[in-house]
Amino acid sequence: MPIDKTKITQDMLDKAMKCRTAEELMTLCKIEGFDITKDEAESYMAELEDIELDEKALDKVAGGYCYGDGVDTDTVGRP
C-alpha cells in the first residue's frame, strides 16, 4: 500500500529519521505495513534530511566546541 503522508504518526517519523539508508527505511516501512520501492525510499530519505529538528531533538545532537572558552584554536598544540 502506498504511503499516505496524512497517516504518518510522530512515532513513525521518529523511527524513520533514525534510518541511515534507503534499505533501512524500506524495512521499517514493511514492518509498518507499507511497501515502497527503493526510489521512493531514497526520495523519502532526501525529504527527511530537510526536516528541521525541534528543540528536544536539537538538544540531543547539540555539542561540539565552545569558542568562547578562551582557547586559541590556531595555536593549540603548536610550540
pLDDT digits (tens, 9 = 90+) for 12-66: 888 888 888 999 999 998 998 888 899 999 988 888 777 666 666 666 665 555 5
Q: Give this prediction's pTM.
A: 0.56
Contact (CB, 8 A) for 22 and 45: yes
Contact (CB, 8 A) for 73 and 55: no
Q: Nearest 5°: phi and psi at 23?
A: -65, -40
Nearest one of 9, 39, 10, 15 to 28, comparing CA atoms: 15
